[in-house]
């Protein structure tokens, strides 16, 4: 009995500690210039996807997005357009859905499949199962974009932020942040605007963590 009490308290402690680490981690994550660690996440087609699968890529447009955030929805077509434009040039889009699906059932795998089919996504739409990848990046919201450049050191973060400067109206966009960043990298130049800010939906963390928050 004593042993099991010890065990239980240890497990509880572990849960509490891990909850706090998740919360803390959300304010850290990669900065421009950092090397991003590879991941292995399940795609909507059931296959696992890693950056290392893309031997020909020059880099990646990693997009944290979901079905349920109105900002993310406004950008769906523009994310697809990014992939159409840049996949062939060596910068494919990899979309990652970071939300806990108990908190947001509308982001569960079957819903992701449905949306990807409706919208004709030509890029992988991965589930961050266990919510381990988005804290490493330091993503806080959807949509949240990270442009990575493949180098000898690894995949280096070159841009963090929004897709462009007008979420509401694609035709009213003045500055295309992500396109500018990728174009600069393709030209072998330095990215001018390395970070931008935009309103988005906070990433929904699993209930156990938010209780300890």
Partner 1 sequence: MKIVIDKTLKHFLHKSLLNYKKCKELLINFIVMKLNILIIAVFLMTISCQKKKETAKVLNETVEQVVEKEVSLNDIQLEVYDYNGFEKFLNKKDNKIHVINFWATWCAPCVKELPYFEKLNSTYNNQNVEVLLVSLDFPHLYDKKLKPFIKEKKLISKVIALDDVDMNTWIPKISKDWSGSIPATIIYKNDTSKFFEQSFTYQELVKEVEQFLN
Binding site for partner 1 (CB under 8 A): 4, 7-8, 11-12, 15, 69-70, 140-141, 144, 161-162, 165-169, 172, 177, 196-204, 207-208, 210-211, 213
Q: What are the distances in angstroms from CA 199 to CA 18, 19, 76, 162?
A: 27, 25, 16, 9
Give 26 or 89: the residue with its C-beta nearer to partner 1. Answer: 26
How many Å apart are CA 63 and CA 127, to the nearest integer?
12
Give 117 or 207: the residue with its C-beta nearer to partner 1. Answer: 207
Give 10 or 35: the residue with its C-beta nearer to partner 1. Answer: 10
Dihedral angle, C-alpha 71, 39, 25, 200, nearest 10 °: 0
109-130 burial, b for 16+ CB within 10 Å, e for fewer?
bebbbebbeeeebebbbbbbee
Give 42 or 136: the residue with its C-beta nearer to partner 1. Answer: 136
How many Å apart are CA 48 and CA 41, to the nearest integer?
5
Compute the least distance from the CB of residue 168 to partner 1, in Å. Answer: 6
Compute the least distance from the CB of residue 82 to partner 1, in Å. Answer: 18
Compute the least distance from the CB of residue 62 to partner 1, in Å. Answer: 16
Q: Which two tokens stand for residue 17?
A: 């500690």
Closest CA to 140 of 71, 40, 60: 71
Give 104 or 150: the residue with its C-beta nearer to partner 1. Answer: 104
Compute the least distance from the CB of residue 192 to partner 1, in Å. Answer: 13
Compute the least distance from the CB of residue 200 to partner 1, in Å. Answer: 5
The answer to whether 44 touches 113, Cβ cutoff 8 Å, is yes
How many Å apart are CA 185 and CA 91, to the nearest integer?
10
Provide the angle, in degrees to the nearest 10, between the axes of the packed helices 109-119 and 70-86: 60
Compute the least distance from the CB of residue 128 to partner 1, in Å. Answer: 16
Give 106 or 110: the residue with its C-beta nearer to partner 1. Answer: 106
């Amino acid at each position: 009995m004593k042993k099991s009490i010890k065990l239980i308290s240890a497990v509880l402690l572990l849960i509490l500690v891990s909850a706090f680490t998740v919360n803390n981690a959300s304010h850290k994550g990669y900065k421009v210039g950092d090397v991003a660690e590879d991941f292995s996440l399940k795609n909507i087609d059931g296959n696992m996807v890693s950056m290392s699968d893309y031997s020909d890529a020059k880099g990646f447009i990693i997009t944290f997005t979901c079905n349920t955030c109105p900002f993310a929805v406004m950008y769906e077509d523009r994310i697809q357009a990014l992939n159409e434009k840049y996949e062939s040039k060596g910068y494919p889009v990899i979309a990652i859905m970071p939300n806990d699906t108990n908190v947001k059932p509308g982001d569960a795998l079957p819903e992701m499949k449905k949306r990807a089919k409706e919208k004709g996504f030509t890029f992988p739409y991965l589930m961050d199962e266990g919510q381990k990848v988005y804290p490493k990046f330091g993503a806080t919201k959807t949509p949240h974009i990270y442009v990575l450049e493949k180098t000898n050191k690894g995949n280096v973060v070159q841009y963090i932020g929004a897709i462009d400067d007008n979420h509401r109206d694609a035709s009213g966009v003045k500055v295309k942040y992500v396109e500018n960043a990728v174009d600069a990298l393709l030209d072998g130049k330095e990215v001018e605007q390395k970070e931008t800010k935009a309103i988005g939906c906070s990433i929904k963390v699993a209930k156990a963590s938010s209780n300890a928050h």
